[in-house]
Amino acid sequence: MSAQRPILDARVRAALDALEWPVSLASAVRDRDGRLLDFRLDHVNLAGARWAGLTPDEMTGRLLTDLVPETRALGLFDALDRVVSTGQPFRQRGTHYAGQVTDGRSFSARFELAAVSAGDGYLSAWAEIADEGAVDLERVLVRAGEALSPDVHEAVIRVPEARRGATRGRLRLSLAMAFG
């Protein structure tokens, strides 16, 4: 059983694609009992696709653990699960990760990672970092969140009517808690 995917209009895709750092938006995939099975990528911006060595179309709609099989072993799946289940943002700087993007590139680097809750899913940004230090992912996620926020950029993301208010409020709350 899978979650209904948000529909992103062209303005949201363009705003996310204009960001210089990799950004992804994903929805939880749950079984009939509501247990989290995986995350389905609803959108990966151009920078994220370039990082992976794929096109956005090759990434959109895929399961996170199929795309990056090491996600569970690296502990990132559990971190994203906590973001979605608790609404608490995730932030990590300087941790080394190595793995392979299925059909894409291999990676071995230190990363800066950030994710916030976006309804029954997450909005994430990441960057490989060099010795000179950290990337301003707060700014990246705030920009991405603004692109998704109907109050800032009109109604640019549509989700099922019953979840619409919760998604908007939860994203704003998550962004405020993470970076406010």
* CATH at residue 136: 3.30.450.20
Residues near 73 by beta carbon (within 8 Å), at least 6 away in sequence: none
Supply 12's token pair.
Answer: 């949201």
Round to whole Å and give the CA distance between 50 and 140.
17
Structural domain that includes position 41: 7-179
Structural domain includes residue 47: yes
Structural domain includes residue 2: no
Round to whole Å and give the CA distance between 35 and 33.
6
Which H helix or E strand runs over 157?
A: strand 157-158
Tally the residues of the chain. 180
Structural domain includes residue 166: yes
Supply 164's token pair.
Answer: 């619409």
Number of domains in the chain: 1
Round to whole Å and give the CA distance between 41 and 31.
17
Supply 143's token pair.
Answer: 């920009």
Q: How are beta strands 90-100 and 36-44 bridged, if at all?
A: unpaired
Question: Using 50, 70 and 90 to split pLDDT, how confident is the model at 7?
Answer: low
Rounded mean pLDDT of 30-58? 95
pTM (whole model) above 0.75: no
Structural domain includes residue 1: no
Round to whole Å and give the CA distance between 150 and 97.
35
The pLDDT tens digits for 70-122 are 999 999 999 999 999 999 999 998 899 999 999 989 999 989 899 999 889 99
Structural domain includes residue 146: yes
Structural domain includes residue 118: yes
